Amino acid sequence: MGLATNKVAIVTGAGSGIGRAVSLALLGAGWSVSLAGRRAEALEETAALAGEARDWAMPVAADVSDPAAVERLFQATKAQFGRLDLLFNNAGSGAPPVALEDLSLDHWKRVVDVNLTGAFLCTQWAFRLMKDQDPRGGRIINNGSISAHVPRPRSVAYTATKHAITGLTRSASLDGRAYDIAVGQIDIGNAATEMTQRMASGVMQADGSIGPEPVMDVQAVADAVLYMAGLPLSANVQFMTVMATKMPFIGRG
């Protein structure tokens, strides 16, 4: 376990998958981390996995699509730790893989609410804290996914929101300059988590066929985020792609 850094992070979607892996990497490197997610029991499991660093973790049950819950998350972080140095906008949701014309409006709205509006609400609150604290500034890292570049079949809601995350990253990066807030994006392809277990049995490809896809250890993502988070605010990784080497991304479609 690393020594305490006096750095403070909020990780959304911290109860599983990429969010859990990144949270544990930050805690292991000495960060204090607010673990945000909808399921309190899953957040407690993440905190328990931190071992000796458990005391630096604060689970906060919060649905990022709920403005009041987001406000409580950021106010609790400020009250507990005094500042905010990093926001990892990672919480995400998908919709059933159905034909575009068959996707329900409720499913569309839920994906937009979590993936896009949730990231926007958290970014707003990060700006409010980071611009007013001393020392001023901080870093925001958005989880864009390689779906921010190219779609999978039958993924219109997820793909549209991830393309929009790129716009959020660019706008926030520009608007954050005046306040020493660095904003970047990590685009992830096929990290081995609960969400990608179906890759082994096969998923729909661009030509309509079903085929298995390679995955990579989620620790590679955690290491990449830790690198981005550790940069001085005078430097920024604007965009980074981390993906399973042999997955069908280059050449997709």
The region that residue 13 occupies, defined by phi over 0 for left and psi between -120 and 50 for alpha, beta otherwise, is left
Nearest in space to 223 (alpha carbons), one of 186, 197, 168: 186
User: Do 149 and 107 touch, CB atoms closer than 8 A?
Assistant: no
Tokens describing residue 73: 């998350």
User: Catalytic one among 74, 81, 120, 158?
Assistant: 158
Handedness of CA 24, 110, 182, 180 (dihedral sign): negative
Q: Catalytic residue at 158? A: yes
Q: How far apart are CA 240 and CA 206, in angstroms?
A: 24
- Residue 121 vs residues 90, 115, 185: alpha-carbon distances, Å: 13, 11, 17
Nearest in space to 121 (alpha carbons), one of 142, 93, 138, 95: 142
Query: Does residue 145 sit in helix, strand or coil?
Result: coil
User: Do 28 and 222 touch, CB atoms closer than 8 A?
Assistant: no
Residue 117 per-residue DSSP state: I
Please count the other Cβ atoms lying within 10 Å of the Cβ belonging to residue 25.
23
Q: Where in the sequence numbering do the catalytic residues fall? A: 158
